[in-house]
Every structure is written in structure tokens, then in C-alpha cells.
């Protein structure tokens, strides 16, 4: 089932009830204005205090004075000083607030002096003077103070509220001034205390530094860690012995290689040539030269005389003697090399032993050096701390002559011109806007739980029946059933013609029977059913259709009172009905519509269903008229409509726009369906076209644009 909120947007719902919402908002705004005007006025003055910008330091960097920067956490901590009871108590004593009615509990006199104008017209009352304790007045004063910071600067705004603007400004300036003085005195006391403490602490650090330096020197002497050109004696000796050991090892290796070569030559496994170490001897070199000369001579003689010649043998013997001399000389050099290799081995072993001893000594001294480094670091730390504290003491001594407060007043408070409370304009406007919002929400809430249909889509979705058209409420207090005759080209007349066209197309194949009976029904009384039936009959008559309108409301017949009867002596279709059970038809003098008052021939409404009763009348009318319209009583009031429904070809159920309860219309539809009646559709009656146009897109456009179209058509015809 579709709800009202689904059928209409919230904006449409609010626009429907705009006057109610506006009246609600204006009422609340007026009440708020009256209430605010009855409240006494309060004035608030503000003084601006800069925190952390007036403190001076010397010997910081390259500047003589510098301002330390505060973070927001430290700023919040500094702001807590404003809440000190000593400040509020000092302000109370300064201005004598213990006797001020506003701060001693008797606020009546202040309210009468600064309240609304009408209260000052009342006779004054004698209020006894009040006297209160300082701490109670200070607590009341603290309740009227505010301290704010925007988290983007180091400015604290000190606000004081009072009924007197001059007093408010004086209190704000006094609180700021007492805070600044408190910061200055606190800074001087802290500086003096720091000076005394640092003097004693520096003496302790000086003695501690001296003791640490003495411990380093004593440990260095005890463990022979005195540096010489950057190294200790053991380190230097170890480096020299390592160098000597390396040289000795290299010489030994070289001598061993030469010894092996000489041994090979002496054993005959090697060739004595120029690369042999034995050639370093001058004697061997001369013998080698002689051997070469004799070998050349021997080769020449052998070539000339052969091997058996005496000269050849003599030279060969000479070459052999020279070779023997060379071997003897090599044996001497080999013995010398063996002695040198032995000496080098002995020297290398001694050097290796000395290096090992020095390495052990160096390892022991390395462990001692670690401890020495610890002592040295402690001594350096004590010396650095001593120097930094000495510099800080000098800074404090220099600051004592330049000591200022860490806060200063930037802007002094001035007496305010306007009251801070109540802010009548802003509060009244805020109340009005809030009331508009509440009223709009209330309108939406009422619409969501509304018992009335407010849109065509909602009505069709809940009933399952189409809306065949509208029966508008005519303007200028005109009767709705007379507009069809008086203004045939009006929007109301066009709406009725549209309903007729819809009825003519509802049937098999899209067209209704040529002769049809249309029953007009409604759920409740007062929904314009009789006026609509009369207007529909007149509209059909103007369309050249013969129409008979049956007034079947036997309890409250009213059709004959709504029409001006026409003289039937002129003839007309109505004269044919005189033979139908004595029913006489009244002829509408303005349209020629025939009205048949069934109540004139039926004494009891229950006689409608007797044999040869209303059925015979309807059959006769169906044969003689194009359209027969039956005006019935309300469905939920009496069962007459349910009894007449089976005789109708089409049933139109009327619903008063925005008036008929949803439950009533649903109950009427359900009763008709249980009676096997086929309801053709629903017609909305008493429709205000201006409001309807704002909520229904298609129908609204037609309702708003049709007058312009009809006026243009009239001008074109003329």
C-alpha cells in the first residue's frame, strides 16, 4: 500500500501546510521575544592577554633577548593560572564586591535597575544591604569569568560578565592585571631560587670534575698508559719489533732459496750460470771467465788437430783444473750461506718471542684502556655539565636585571555598548528558524499519519480504482451544478465532459453500450454527490443526449429543490413517464434534464426491490433515454446503494478531495465489491484547483494552463 509520504514529496507536504507552519513559527518567535524582553541584560567585556611573549632570556644564540615559544599543551597549563582563587579574591577586595548585590546573593536590586522597562514601572522595594564573605563572592565572580583561546595564537581572552558594563570592563582588566603581576612575582621568586640552587650545585660539580680528572691521571700512571706521539710505549715497541720480524723473515727466506740453489750446484744437479748466487764472488767470476776462454781454445784445437793431439789434452786438463777450483770455491760459499741461514733463524725466533711478549702486554693494556676510557668519559661528562650550569648561572644573573612577567596585557577591556545576554535579535531569529523546521517536520509527520487522501496516485494505489476526473469547486460562491449551464466553456464544465467521455469508453472494445445506467455513490454524506449527479446530467444534456436523473435517496430527497421546474405543457420526453407506476418527472428549466423522484411513488425504501418495482422503471428509462443517472444515498449510511448497484451498468464512487477518510472510502469500495458491483472509477469532488495544481503535475498543468488556452480561443473566434 502506498503511503502519503510516497505519494508526495516532503516539500509538497510543507507547501500544503505553509500557513500553519508560518503561523506556528511566528507564534513561537513572538513568545520568545516576550520572554527575552523580560530577562535582565548582562554585559560582557573582554581583555586580551598574551602568554609566554614577555619573558626575556640573555646569552641565547646571537641575540641579546629572545622570546621562548610555547606549545599548545604548555599554553593550556599556563591558562590554569587564571582560575587561581587568589586572583578572584584580590579582585573582590579591590572593588568591594562583598557588598555588591550582584555578587553577594541579592540580585533583585540589580535586576530592577537593569531589567525591562515595565519592571522599572513597578513600585520599588526596600532591599536590605548585603554583606558576604570574600570566598563566596569570589566563587560567584569566578562563575561570571570566561577564559578562551582559539588554538592558533598565544592570546587568552579574559571575559567578565556583569549587569553594569563599566563594572564588567573593570573586572576583566583587574583579573588580567593580577594575573600578569602574579606571573612577574612568580618569575622573580623562581629566578632567585634557581640562582641559589645553581650556586650550590656548581660547587658540587666542580669538586666532582676535579676528582674525575685526578682518577684518570692516576689510572694512566699505574697502568703505563701515558701516550707518546699518540701511542703508548708498548704499542710503539711492538710496531718496531713487528717490522724487524718481517725483515728477518724475508732475509731468511731469501737465504734459504740461495742455499738450496748452491746445494744443487754442489751436488751436480744444477748448472753454474750467471744467475747463481755464487757468481757474486769475484774469484768465481774470474775462474768462470778463464774457463770460458780455455773452453773456446779447446774447441778450436779439437777442430784443428782432433782429440788425440797433445795440445788438445793439455787444454782439456787446464779446463778441468779450473772447474775443480770453481767447485772448491762453491763449497766455501755454501758453508758461509749455511752459517748465515742459521744466524737468521736464531734472530727470527728471538724476534717472534719478543713480539709475543709485547702482544700479551698490549692486550693487557687494551683492557686497561677500556677502563681508562670509561673514566675519561665520566670526567668529560662532569666537565660538560659543569660548563653548561656555569653558563646558565651567568644567564640567570643577567636576567635578574631584566626580569619581566611571562604574560602581558595586549588589549584592555572596554565597556561594551550592547548586552551579551540576551541577544534578542539572534535568539528570536533562531527561534523562528527552529520553529519553521519543527513546524515543517510536524507537517510531514501529520501528513505521514494522515487519514485523508491527498494525491491521485495515493488514492489509485490504495483502492485499485482509476480516478476518472475532477468535480472542481467553482469560484465566486457559484453553485457547482449551475456552472455547467452558466459557464459551458469553463474548466469545471470541461472536467464534467471529460468524465462523460471516460464513461463512454468503458466497456467491451473500449466503448460502453448506447443505453446505459450510471449510478452515483459516495462513502459518506456531504461529499457533493447530488450536485455532481445534477451537473453530470446537465452536461450530458448539453451534449444532445437524452438524460433521466433518478433521485433514489428516499430519506433525504433534494434534487427537486435544486432545479427550477419547467412547464411541461410545452411537451417533452418527461410526459412519457406518467404511466410508469404513477411516477411524474420534473423537467429542469435550465437544461431540459428529466428528474424522476422515486420517493414520490415509494413509501418505504425497502420497496425498491419488490418485483416489478425499480427494475421495471429502469428498464423503461433505459429504452427511452440515452443515459440514466441514479443518485443514491451514502454506501456506509444505508444499504440502498448496494441494492441498486446490480441494476447499474457503471458505478461512479465520489470522494471529497482531502476530506474523505481513507478508511471510509476503502470500506465503501469493499462493500460494493462484496455486492458484486463493478465500480468504474472514482471522481474527486470539491477540488480546489489552485491547490490541486501545486501537487499534481499533469492535472495541475491542465488546471493552470486551461484558462489561458480558452481565452486565446475566444479571441481567435472573435
Rounded Cα distance, 91 and 137, in Å? 10
Confidence of residue 451 (pLDDT cuts 50, 70, 90): low
Same domain, 243 and 178: no
Confidence of residue 663 (pLDDT cuts 50, 70, 90): confident
Higher pLDDT, 457 or 28: 28
Instruction: Report, as an integer, the average pLDDT of 653-667.
Output: 87
Q: What are phi and psi of 162, to 5 degrees?
A: -160, 165
Q: What is the CATH number of the domain that holds 659?
A: 3.40.50.300
Rounded Cα distance, 559 and 555, in Å? 12
Instruction: Report, as an integer, the average pLDDT of 214-237.
Output: 67
- pLDDT tens, position by position, 4-30: 434 467 777 777 678 888 888 899 989
- pLDDT tens, position by position, 110-143: 444 444 544 544 444 444 556 778 888 888 888 8
23: in domain: no
> How far does the chain reach from its first CA to its final CA, in angstroms?
51
Rounded Cα distance, 27 and 433, in Å? 12
Same domain, 609 and 652: yes
- Asked if 597 contacts 549 with a C-beta cutoff of 8 angstroms, the reply is no
- Asked if 638 contacts 645 with a C-beta cutoff of 8 angstroms, the reply is no
Number of alpha carbons in the 13 Å side-chain half-sphere of residue 547: 25
pLDDT, the chain, mean? 75
Same domain, 413 and 498: no
Q: In this structure, what is the dihedral angle of CA atoms 298, 304, 306, 308, given to the nearest 10 degrees?
A: -70
Does residue 533 surpass a pLDDT of 80?
A: yes
Task: Match 477540488 to its residue by C-alpha cell.
Answer: 687
Same domain, 388 and 461: no
Residue 545 makes CB contacts below 8 A (sequence gap 6+) with: 626, 627
Does residue 416 surpass a pLDDT of 70?
A: yes
Q: Is 498 exposed, middle or buried (0-12, 13-18, 19+ CB in 10 A)?
A: middle
629: in domain: yes
Q: Which three cell numbers stand for residue 625?
A: 433515454
Using DSSP, state whether 564 is helix, strand or coil.
coil
Strand pairing report for 547-551 and 594-597: parallel
Same domain, 329 and 390: yes
539: in domain: yes
612: in domain: yes
Other beta carbons less than 10 A from residue 643's beta carbon: 17
Instruction: Report, as an integer, the average pLDDT of 442-456.
Output: 69
- pLDDT tens, position by position, 538-597: 888 888 888 998 888 777 777 777 776 655 444 444 334 434 445 567 788 888 888 888
Strand pairing report for 627-631 and 679-687: unpaired
Same domain, 557 and 671: yes
- pLDDT tens, position by position, 164-190: 889 989 999 999 998 888 887 776 666
613: in domain: yes
Q: Which three cell numbers stand for residue 62?
A: 646571537
- Asked if 439 contacts 25 with a C-beta cutoff of 8 angstroms, the reply is yes
Instruction: Report, as an integer, the average pLDDT of 266-282.
Output: 60
Q: Tell me, yes or no, if the pTM score tops 0.85.
A: no
- pLDDT tens, position by position, 372-413: 677 777 778 877 887 887 787 777 666 555 555 577 888 888
pLDDT at residue 519, rounded to an integer: 92
Q: Which of 47-61, 209-223, 533-547 has the lowest mean pLDDT?
A: 47-61
Q: Give the H or E element holding residue 327.
A: helix 310-399
Q: Which of 66-70, 231-235, 353-357 has the lowest mean pLDDT?
A: 66-70
Same domain, 419 and 494: no
Q: Which of 246-255, 326-335, 420-429, 680-689 has the lowest mean pLDDT?
A: 326-335
Same domain, 476 and 496: yes
Same domain, 251 and 283: yes
Looking at residue 160, the DSSP 8-state letter turns out to be E
Q: At what angle do helices 424-448 and 18-38 cross, to 10 degrees?
A: 150
What is the extent of the structural domain holding 180? 35-194+408-425
Instruction: State the alpha helices, DSSP H only, in 267-309.
Output: 282-305
- pLDDT tens, position by position, 142-155: 888 998 888 788 88
Rounded Cα distance, 30 and 32, in Å? 5
Instruction: Report, as an integer, the average pLDDT of 647-671.
Output: 88
436: in domain: no
- pLDDT tens, position by position, 602-632: 556 555 555 456 778 888 888 889 899 998 8
Provide the number of structural domains found in the chain.
3
Same domain, 284 and 386: yes
Same domain, 297 and 390: yes
Residue 206 makes CB contacts below 8 A (sequence gap 6+) with: 386
Instruction: Report, as an integer, the average pLDDT of 32-47.
Output: 88
122: in domain: yes
Same domain, 570 and 699: yes
- Asked if 175 contacts 83 with a C-beta cutoff of 8 angstroms, the reply is no
Other beta carbons less than 10 A from residue 641's beta carbon: 31
- pLDDT tens, position by position, 327-373: 777 777 777 777 888 888 888 888 788 777 777 776 776 666 667 67
Rounded Cα distance, 551 and 50, in Å? 93
Q: What is the CA radius of gyration of the chain?
A: 65
Q: Which three cell numbers stand for residue 662?
A: 481513507
Does residue 513 surpass a pLDDT of 80?
A: no
- Asked if 138 contacts 92 with a C-beta cutoff of 8 angstroms, the reply is yes
Three-state SS for 587-634 is EECCCCCEEEEHHHCCCCHHHHHCCCCHHHHHHHHHHHCCEEEEECCC
171: in domain: yes
pLDDT at residue 518, rounded to an integer: 92
Amino acid at each position: 500500500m502506498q503511503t502519503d509520504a510516497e505519494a508526495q514529496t516532503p516539500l509538497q507536504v510543507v507547501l500544503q501546510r505553509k500557513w500553519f507552519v508560518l503561523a506556528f513559527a511566528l507564534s513561537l518567535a513572538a513568545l520568545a521575544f516576550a520572554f527575552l524582553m523580560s530577562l535582565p541584560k548582562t554585559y560582557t567585556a573582554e581583555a586580551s592577554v598574551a602568554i609566554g611573549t614577555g619573558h626575556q632570556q640573555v646569552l641565547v644564540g646571537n641575540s641579546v633577548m629572545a622570546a621562548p615559544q610555547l606549545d599548545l599543551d604548555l599554553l593550556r597549563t599556563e591558562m590554569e593560572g587564571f582560575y587561581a582563587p587568589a586572583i578572584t579574591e584580590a579582585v573582590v577586595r579591590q572593588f568591594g564586591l562583598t557588598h555588591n548585590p550582584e555578587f553577594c546573593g541579592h540580585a533583585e536590586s540589580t535586576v530592577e535597575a537593569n531589567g525591562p522597562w515595565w519592571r522599572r514601572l513597578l513600585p520599588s522595594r526596600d532591599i536590605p544591604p548585603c554583606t558576604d564573605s570574600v570566598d563566596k563572592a569570589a566563587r560567584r565572580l569566578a562563575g561570571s569569568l570566561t577564559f578562551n583561546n582559539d588554538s592558533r595564537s598565544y592570546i587568552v581572552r579574559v571575559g567578565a560578565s556583569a549587569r553594569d558594563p563599566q563594572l564588567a570592563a573593570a573586572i576583566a582588566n583587574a583579573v588580567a592585571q593580577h594575573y600578569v603581576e602574579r606571573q612577574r612575582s612568580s618569575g622573580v621568586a623562581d629566578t632567585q631560587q634557581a640562582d641559589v640552587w645553581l650556586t650550590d650545585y656548581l660547587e658540587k660539580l666542580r669538586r666532582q670534575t676535579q676528582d674525575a680528572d685526578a682518577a684518570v691521571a692516576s689510572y694512566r700512571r699505574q697502568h703505563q698508559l701515558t701516550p707518546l706521539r699518540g701511542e703508548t710505549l708498548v704499542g710503539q715497541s711492538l710496531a718496531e719489533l713487528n717490522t724487524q720480524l718481517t725483515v728477518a723473515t724475508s732475509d731468511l727466506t731469501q737465504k734459504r732459496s740461495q742455499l738450496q740453489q748452491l746445494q744443487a750446484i754442489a751436488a751436480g744437479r744444477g748448472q753454474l750460470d750467471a744467475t747463481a748466487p755464487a757468481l757474486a764472488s769475484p774469484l768465481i767470476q774470474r775462474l768462470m771467465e778463464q774457463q770460458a776462454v780455455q773452453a773456446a781454445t779447446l774447441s778450436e784445437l779439437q777442430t784443428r788437430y782432433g782429440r788425440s793431439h797433445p795440445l788438445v789434452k793439455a787444454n782439456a786438463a787446464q779446463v778441468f783444473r779450473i772447474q775443480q777450483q770453481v767447485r772448491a770455491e762453491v763449497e766455501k760459499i755454501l758453508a758461509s750461506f749455511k752459517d748465515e741461514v742459521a744466524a737468521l733463524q736464531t734472530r727470527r725466533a728471538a724476534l717472534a718471542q719478543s713480539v709475543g711478549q709485547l702482544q700479551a702486554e698490549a692486550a693487557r693494556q687494551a683492557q686497561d684502556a677500556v677502563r681508562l676510557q670509561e673514566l675519561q668519559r665520566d670526567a668529560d661528562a662532569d666537565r660538560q655539565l659543569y660548563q653548561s650550569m656555569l653558563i646558565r648561572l651567568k644567564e640567570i644573573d643577567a636576567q635578574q636585571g631584566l626580569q619581566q612577567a611571562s604574560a602581558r596585557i595586549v588589549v584592555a577591556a572596554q565597556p561594551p555598548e550592547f548586552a551579551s545576554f540576551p541577544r534578542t535579535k539572534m535568539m528570536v531569529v533562531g527561534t523562528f528558524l527552529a520553529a519553521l523546521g519543527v513546524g515543517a517536520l510536524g507537517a510531514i509527520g501529520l501528513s505521514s499519519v494522515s487519514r485523508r487522501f491527498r494525491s491521485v496516485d495515493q488514492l489509485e494505489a490504495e483502492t485499485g480504482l482509476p480516478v476518472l476526473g475532477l468535480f472542481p469547486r467553482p469560484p465566486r460562491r457559484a453553485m457547482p451544478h449551475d456552472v455547467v449551464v452558466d459557464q459551458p466553456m469553463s474548466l469545471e464544465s470541461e472536467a464534467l465532459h471529460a468524465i462523460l467521455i471516460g464513461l463512454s469508453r468503458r466497456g467491451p472494445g473500449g466503448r460502453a453500450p448506447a443505453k446505459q445506467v450510471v449510478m452515483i455513490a459516495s462513502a459518506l454524506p456531504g461529499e457533493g454527490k447530488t450536485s455532481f449527479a445534477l451537473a453530470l446530467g446537465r452536461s450530458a444534456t448539453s451534449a444532445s443526449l437524452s438524460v433521466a436523473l433518478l433521485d433514489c435517496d428516499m430519506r433525504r430527497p433534494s434534487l427537486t429543490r435544486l432545479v427550477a421546474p419547467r412547464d411541461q405543457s410545452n411537451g417533452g420526453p418527461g410526459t412519457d413517464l406518467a404511466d410508469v407506476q404513477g411516477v411524474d418527472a420534473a423537467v429542469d428549466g435550465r437544461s431540459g434534464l428529466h428528474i424522476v423522484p422515486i420517493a414520490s411513488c415509494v413509501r418505504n425504501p425497502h420497496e425498491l426491490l419488490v418485483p416489478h418495482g425499480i427494475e421495471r422503471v429502469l428498464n423503461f428509462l433505459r429504452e427511452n433515454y440515452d443515459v440514466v443517472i441514479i443518485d443514491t444515498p451514502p454506501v456506509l449510511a444505508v444499504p440502498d446503494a448496494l441494492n441498486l448497484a446490480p441494476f447499474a451498468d457503471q458505478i461512479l464512487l465520489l470522494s471529497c478531495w482531502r476530506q474523505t477518510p481513507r478508511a471510509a472510502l476503502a470500506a465503501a469500495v469493499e462493500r460494493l465489491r462484496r455486492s458484486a458491483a463493478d465500480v468504474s472509477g472514482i471522481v474527486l469532488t470539491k477540488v480546489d484547483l489552485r491547490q490541486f495544481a501545486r501537487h499534481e503535475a499533469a492535472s495541475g498543468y491542465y488546471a493552470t494552463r486551461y484558462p489561458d488556452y480558452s481565452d486565446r480561443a475566444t479571441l481567435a473566434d472573435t
